[in-house]
Amino acid sequence: MPGPMATSRVPRRADVVVVGGGCMGTSIAFHLVRRGVDVVLVERGHVASGATGHSGALVRQHYEARIGIRLARESLGFFRRFEKETGYSCDFRTTGFLSGTRHRDLAAFEALLSLLRSEGVKAEQLTPSEAKGIEPQLEVSDYAAVVHDPEAGYADPIATSVGFAQSAAGSGAVLLENRDVSSVVIRSGRIASVRIRGRSTITTDRVVLAAGNWTPELARALRVPLRVRFVRGDIVILRRPVGFGSPPKIHFDFYGNTYVRPEGEKDVLVGYMDTDPRKTIRRHLLSDDTVPSSTVRDLRTRLMRRFPVMARAQPRGGWAGVYDVTPDSYPILDRVGPEGLYLAAGFSGHGFKLSPEVGRLMAEYVATGRKPEILVPLRFARFRENRPIKPEAPFPAKRGPRLP
Q: Is the pLDDT of residue 400 over 60?
A: no
In the listed set 323, 346, 372, which residue is the last one of a domain according to the structure? 323
In the listed set 277, 301, 323, which residue is the last one of a domain according to the structure? 323
Give start and end residues of each alpha helix (H) in 309-350: none
Which residues constitute the domain of residue 38? 1-93+151-228+326-404
Same domain membership, residue 221 and residue 124 = no
In the listed set 277, 300, 323, which residue is the last one of a domain according to the structure? 323
Low-confidence winner among 56-70, 228-242, 282-296, 356-370 (lowest mean pLDDT): 282-296
Q: Confidence band (pLDDT; 50, 70, 90) for 22?
A: very high
Quick one: average pLDDT of 264-292?
A: 84
Same domain membership, residue 217 and residue 69 = yes
- Which helix (H) or strand (E) element contains residue 301? helix 293-306
Query: How many structural domains compose the chain?
Result: 2
Same domain membership, residue 239 and residue 371 = no
Question: Are residues 255 and 103 in contact, defined by beta-carbon separation less than 8 angstroms?
Answer: no
Same domain membership, residue 316 and residue 171 = no
Q: DSSP letter at 119?
A: T
**Total-model pTM:** 0.95
The mean of the pLDDT values for the chain is 94
Amino acid at the residue 77: G
Alpha-carbon span 352 to 391, nearest angstrom: 20
pLDDT (tens digit per residue) in 71-100:
999 999 999 999 999 999 999 999 999 999
Alpha-carbon span 4 to 1, nearest angstrom: 9
Q: What is the CATH number of the domain that holds 10?
A: 3.50.50.60
Same domain membership, residue 142 and residue 273 = yes
Same domain membership, residue 355 and residue 309 = no
- Please give the distance of CA 27 from its chain centroid, rounded to a whole number: 12
Same domain membership, residue 161 and residue 66 = yes
3-state SS, residue 124: strand
Same domain membership, residue 224 and residue 157 = yes
pLDDT (tens digit per residue) in 241-269:
999 999 999 999 999 999 999 999 999 99
Q: What is the CATH number of the domain that holds 317?
A: 3.30.9.10
Amino acid at the residue 228: V
According to the 3-state scheme, what is the secondary structure of 217-244?
HHHHCCCCCCCCEEEEEEEEEEECCCCC
Tell me which residue of 156, 155, 159, 154 sits closest to 47, measured CA to CA: 159
